[in-house]
Amino acid sequence: MNLLKYALAGWLLACASVAQAKPIAFSHGTTVMAEYGAGTMTEAQVFYAPKYFLSLGGGYLELESDIDHRRREITYTRLNYLVKRWNMADAQANVFVWGGAGQAYVSELNEHEFAWNAGAQVDYETRRVYSSLKTDLHHASGFEHRVDTLQLGIAPYKHDFDTLATWFVVQGRQYTGVIHEGTEWALLLRLFKRGAWVEAGVTDDGKLQAMAMVNF
Amino acid sequence: MKKLTICLFALIAGVANAGTIEMKVYGLVCGFCAQGIEKTLRKNPATADVVVSLENKLVAVATKEGADISDAELTKALTDSGYDVKGIVRTQRSLDAIRAELKQ
């Protein structure tokens, strides 16, 4: 719950910004993304967007307990949908939702189960400030995990199409579910240019948090 | 004869430089936005070159000689990419001139 309070405060302070890696990059574009959080989660996704408001694809999410090494390996297909976009002169805001289904491996039961997922993201960004709030739920008969992520970022300069974008990002992430509970904070350096995006940083536990994404 | 020659040169110069279309676009805040727009516009067989400037909210298209893209077609391309077109003008500026101006 604390994260939700921080999220609300951050949201207001940042003038209701939100935006991180979007589940839909652009029409007829393909997005490949991989994310690694040491001791917590690893995720990879591939999506193709036939329209600017719709993308289809799949992913793999591995959640691991850093206490007893129980883990969930979730393979899923997913549909992402842009519910609403606001294009402003110097800003953009979006509301995305997604849902899908797949299979989850539960290590302590040594079983594979049917699993479904659902989530949403709200974002607002300019070329200097952004924030994003995302919630991602995975459910199976043997577990339910939710990962809520808040990101607030600031850019030291305005980038343009052909220049490198640099962002300093504070990330708060709350894990809900039996395997991993709690809030984790991270400081990230994000760089992107044209269709390539990399970010890396450390969590408050001193662990590596990294993400890479390519759009083409 | 001299007047006719001048008119002919002016006409040729006008035609040669008439293929630049500049659009003011809202929602351009990141390189990914620009990448999608550039990719879409380059697919059009009439497109010779594209310049996108986030700073100026500008998308400029140079068309191939003798080719054109209608305002409706451009608006649809940008709207289908998820952006809002706020204005379209046809100018005499070349894309090289626009690039040079953007670098200043």
pLDDT for the residue A84: 97
Block means of pLDDT (10 residues each) for chain A, length 216 residues?
43 35 82 90 94 95 85 95 96 96 93 96 95 95 92 95 92 86 93 91 94 93
Q: How far from A182 is each of A131, A202, B65, CA to CA, in Å?
A: 21, 16, 62
For residues A89 and A157, what is the distance between their CA atoms, to the nearest angstrom? Answer: 18
Mutate to test the interface with B, among A26, A53, A214 (most CBs of B within 10 A): A26
pLDDT tens, residue by residue, A128-143: 998 999 999 999 998 8
| CATH level 3 topology of A2-215 | Porin (2.40.160)
Q: Are A72 and A58 in contact (CB under 8 A)?
A: no
Which residues does chain A have within 8 Å of residue B35's beta carbon, measured at their own beta carbons? Answer: 25-26, 29, 161, 194-195, 215
Q: What is the β-pairing status of strands A165-176 and A111-125?
A: unpaired
For chain A, give every domain's residue range: 2-215
CA distance B52 to chain A (A): 7
Predicted pLDDT of residue A21 = 67
B34 CA: distance to closest CA in chain A (Å): 6
Return the CATH number of the domain spanning residue range B2-103.
3.30.70.100
Domain boundaries, chain B: 2-103
Which residues of B fall within a CB distance of 8 Å from A215?
32, 35-36
Strand A196-203 with A208-215, pairing: antiparallel
- Tokens 């990141």 belong to residue: B30
Other beta carbons within 10 angstroms of residue A91's beta carbon come to 21
Q: In Å, what is the CA distance from A27 to each residue of A98, A115, B8, B80?
A: 17, 29, 43, 7
| Number of residues that make up chain B | 104
Q: Is the per-residue pLDDT at B6 higher than 50?
A: no
Q: Which residues of B touch A (CB under 8 A)?
A: 26-40, 52-55, 57, 80-84, 102
Closest CA to A79 of A93, A52, A104, A58: A58
Distance set, CA A77 to CA A102, A137, A209, B70 (Å): 6, 14, 24, 39
Residue A43: closest CA among A114, A120, A138: A138
Quote the ipTM score: 0.79
b/e burial code for range B46-82 (CB count within 10 A of at least 16 → b): bbebbbbbbebbbbbbbbeeeeebeeeebeebbeebb
Q: Are A123 and A84 in contact (CB under 8 A)?
A: no
Global model pTM greater than 0.80: yes
Report the gap between the CA of A35 and the closest CA in chain B (Å).
Answer: 19
β-strand pairing of B47-53 with B20-26: unpaired
Residue in B31, B35, B57 closest to A159 by CB: B31
Interchain CB distance below 8 Å, A87 and B83: yes
